[in-house]
Structure 1
Amino acid sequence: MDFNSYAGFYRNNYLRSSYEFVYAKCLERLNIDYEVEETTYFLENGTSYKPDFFLYDNDELVKIVEIKSEYKSRIKKAKTQIALLQNQVDITIELIRKKQLKNLCKKIGLNFYELTQSWIDNKNTSKNHVLEGELNPLFGKKHTQKTKKLIGQKSKERFKDKKFREKHSNAVKKAMKKVDTSKLGNKKSRISKRCKICGDEFLVIETSNRKFCSKTCAAANALKFSNRKQKIERKKRNKEIRKQVKKVINSNSEFILSIPYNDISSSFEKLFKEILIKYNLKDLRNIAFAFYGDYSYSMKSMLKDFKRIAQTD
């Protein structure tokens, strides 16, 4: 993971670097369907690996792609992971570096440096954003028995150091001082917890499952969970709409190619009427958002892209 890279959302996918954004743009120019970090693989050496891109042809996975910068250590690690994964799956796995990405952009008429700069300048991208919750590649993963054993061995080695033992002991004593030591009545001992939303500390009894300092923070967490769930459902729905739109384009390629640029709206409404009704979409802007992730995408640009798809297929 590159902590200095710029990460952010692009068309409902969370991209972890400007190079991933450039590659996504290349795939869209080439009209190749893709998913980002779709599957986590557990390798024979006890580690897990989540590749960057999964490329599809007619809903069939045809290639896995890993995007890497020019750092030798990261390239070495990626090559090791790819070699181990290649033993497990019968799918082509490709490692793409900066030089190959620049050549690909040049070949298909994209400006590599303009794309990377636009991603860095985007107000929705930021450094270190990859560390938050589900956006962290390690979120929700469980340690294997081998890893647990290794952690245990390292912990034992650390506690052999006298200075470390003293430091750890002092930290425990400091934490215990925060416990309510009042002698008024038979009170249960309290421990200090940190709120998962605002970060403030609060006291609870040792057996408490409470995670938030107040009802306000608890409500904020519930809203965050609800928004995350809606985002997942919206992504799934948009994917279905894109598939339906492509089916309509492929089934009506001659009609698409014959649509004049001065009669786009009425032609599109006839063409995608069933999709608008099925998914309860207000107008064509919703199709533009599902297809491009942007409500402001013009009808003219949509028709231009649809004509290209019709000619390709």
Structure 2
Amino acid sequence: MNQSQQSAWWKESVIYQVYPKSFYDSNNDGVGDIPGIIAKLPYLKTLGITLIWVSPFYRSPGADNGYDIADYYAVNPDLGQMQDVDNLIKQAGELGIEVMVDLVVNHTSDEHPWFQAALADPQSKYRDYYIFKPAAAGGAPNNWRSIFGGSAWEKVAGEECYYLHVFHKKQPDLNWENPQLREEIYAMINWWLDKGIAGFRIDAITFIKKDQDYASLPADGIDGLASIKAKSRNRPGIERFLHELKERTFRRHRCVTVGEAPGVPLEEYDSYIGPDGYFNMIFDFHAADIDVENGSEWFKQRDWNVREFREALFASQRAFCQAGWGTTFIENHDQPRALSKL
């Protein structure tokens, strides 16, 4: 029996995303929290919800709304404590509601102990948990532009080297080429699954494999930089990491996995969500990103028409029919509201 068949329970689920800070404030401090989610479980039950996806609640300095994680094993004090998470899982389960959480393993916060150790000692094993490269001609190692704009490289104070960040400069990328780093990630994932969560929405997972030549690209803007996506999104070799991730973690548990997987061509959907795919589902971006030039770079708008949108939507549905279970969306927490697009 393959993973999709074993995990068929999630196909009947009604899923509701909860963003903790804005969902419900249980103690009137102006910030939503995990006890607030617990308080509203009966309400969610009346809506027919059977699975909640809770956006990041880990300890984080908040440079990217919690997607910059400083400790995978701790809860942001503004949102509660680990006992609250345990209570959420337990009380939700008593109402027939499962709990899935965000999994962010392309990067950490620059305040994570691993990164702080890497900065403190260039000879530390933690230096190889991230991607550090020497300066080139007195500047950044190459001309890659981060998803958030500007160079994807940040200089290390007091050293002639830089670290890579596909997204925010406070989100240094993890080095998936390092097997020791991967073991740390798998241990953390299994820890959460053993705790009783139902699964994960896996953030930015198609960015974990970088081209190892770290070569510059022809500039595509007046800033002299080039989008990092051509060298870091769904690149050759990612299949090895994703297969290992599934085998070492997800396959061992009764869980549901939804990959945030921009940049995956329709013809590769079978590898991602087919009978032996890496995940149960992936978020499909082909229609949602119709209004931007290079997927999620909202500062580069493009003209589009309804016929284009229709074809993108239908093409994705045809691919899902052939490959497996898919998810189509018109907006998410990263994007402008659909009304401004449509």
- Higher helix proportion: 1
TM-score of the superposition, structure 1-length normalised? 0.26
TM-score of the superposition, structure 2-length normalised? 0.24
Structure number with greater Rg is: 1
